[in-house]
Structure 1
């Protein structure tokens, strides 16, 4: 399962799942573009860790919700590495509240990043992925997009929207031998989960047959598989990495 010398752009790669994905790809010898919006110090740490191993990394600051910034990021990294072989759309935010209290601003903020950012990055990298030798589009969704979740109408909507987007792009790039797939993690031990009250975490854990939360590496390994040649006959799929949670 090799991604050696493949150029991989990972959005939201300074923290959480994106950080783990970027590091895992780097450990396998990939050229990794570490995108971040504001967590510059953390992004530098990721870059340094990758560059200490077989991979190579550069930083790429951009707010994925801003198309102009995404285009500028693409131009900069293209000068460094050339075309993008693998795009991992991971960047996302939450603005949680019950729907009756949710404002249009709360709704739009999440839509702009979680779906608008995916559109922007995919649009800018689309020709590269389609033209690459087995290009890869990998979208990071969530079990919340499959099940829904109390207080997350905006977030759940964006994450379920990625399913239709992934399947459509898979059809549109299949003739070139490139693929599009989606990973839907369950509840992962990140800063986001740490902010959830302990009693709520306990209730979530009761719904997970494997009786544990996911580690970042559980998700990163699946993404690296999808980025590799080993997944060449898999496209348009939604991979649940959720410990057996039903949906």
Structure 2
């Protein structure tokens, strides 16, 4: 029986690729999602991965959702905090709601999801937490103060929890993807897309499966000496 892996935002985009890759690697995967029932059910039918709906920005909902996952599959041993949204605007035009929505989903969710599983990981002396950050949390980006703040926070969360958890067999790492070909880029104009790709030394967008392979690597039992790291995967666009 494979280890149980829970992926937030796990039915679409990068999250769906992560869920599929972990299942292929032998994990018992649970995919969380927040709102798109049609996409989630299509994903479930296609992959046979069970899906669970709750808002990762709501702590009580996360507690209850994790109980549901563990009742069905067993204790969560691998947690992938992938769920994220964007509400782009220059700060002088950004509403408090746009700020709050992004911080709640992209950063508060890490506490909401990790707090309910960390004690079990510590008791079992094993755990893998992989947090999806972003190139924009490393270098900043115009019109993304909320998003960049949250994703920078993801990296800080990762480093601190890695220190707290290392002696309990728990690794905590972040992955910072660059621009990946997902539906988040659907509304980007051709001109802007050319500008984005022009800044990437390898000359193309990333693929969700490329990010998923990084998650599978960090989640593995034999990745136990890698913790507190941020793995950048951006085609050379930003090097740190």
TM-score (norm 2): 0.96
* 1:20 and 1:217 in contact (8 A); partners too: yes
Q: By how many angstroms is 1:90 displaced?
A: 0.3
Q: Count matched residues.
A: 239
Cα distance in 2 for residues equivalent to 1:50 and 1:223: 18
State the match for 1:46 in structure 2: 43
Q: By how many angstroms is 1:83 displaced?
A: 0.9
Q: By how many angstroms is 1:194 displaced?
A: 1.8
1:5 counterpart (2, 5, 24): 2
2:64 counterpart (67, 72, 75): 72
State the match for 1:204 in structure 2: 196
Task: Indicate the larger mover: 180-189 or 59-68.
Answer: 59-68
| 1:26 counterpart = 2:29 | no
Task: Indicate the larger mover: 218-227 or 131-140.
Answer: 131-140
| Aligned-pair Cα RMSD in Å | 1.3
Alignment of 1:1-247 (within 5 A): 5-51=2-48, 57-132=49-124, 134-247=126-239
Q: By how many angstroms is 1:77 displaced?
A: 1.1
- Secondary structure in 2 matching 1:87: strand
Q: What residue ranges of structure 1 are gaps of 5+ in the alignment?
A: 52-56
Q: By how many angstroms is 1:37 displaced?
A: 0.9
Q: What residue ranges of structure 2 are gaps of 5+ in the alignment?
A: none
Task: Indicate the larger mover: 169-178 or 126-135.
Answer: 126-135
Q: By how many angstroms is 1:104 displaced?
A: 1.4
- Secondary structure in 2 matching 1:115: helix
Cα distance in 2 for residues equivalent to 1:83 and 1:120: 17
The Cα offsets for residues 147-191 of structure 1, whole Å up to 9 and x where unpaired, read as 111111100110011111000000111111110000000000000
The Cα offsets for residues 53-89 of structure 1, whole Å up to 9 and x where unpaired, read as xxxx322110000111111101111111221100000
Q: By how many angstroms is 1:41 displaced?
A: 2.2
TM-score (norm 1): 0.93
Cα distance in 1 for residues equivalent to 2:217 and 2:76: 17
Task: Indicate the larger mover: 16-25 or 127-136.
Answer: 127-136
* Structure 1 residues 11 and 91: alpha-carbon distance in aligned structure 2, compared to 1, 3 A threshold: same
* Structure 1 residues 228 and 49: alpha-carbon distance in aligned structure 2, compared to 1, 3 A threshold: farther
Q: By how many angstroms is 1:134 displaced?
A: 3.1
State the match for 1:54 in structure 2: none
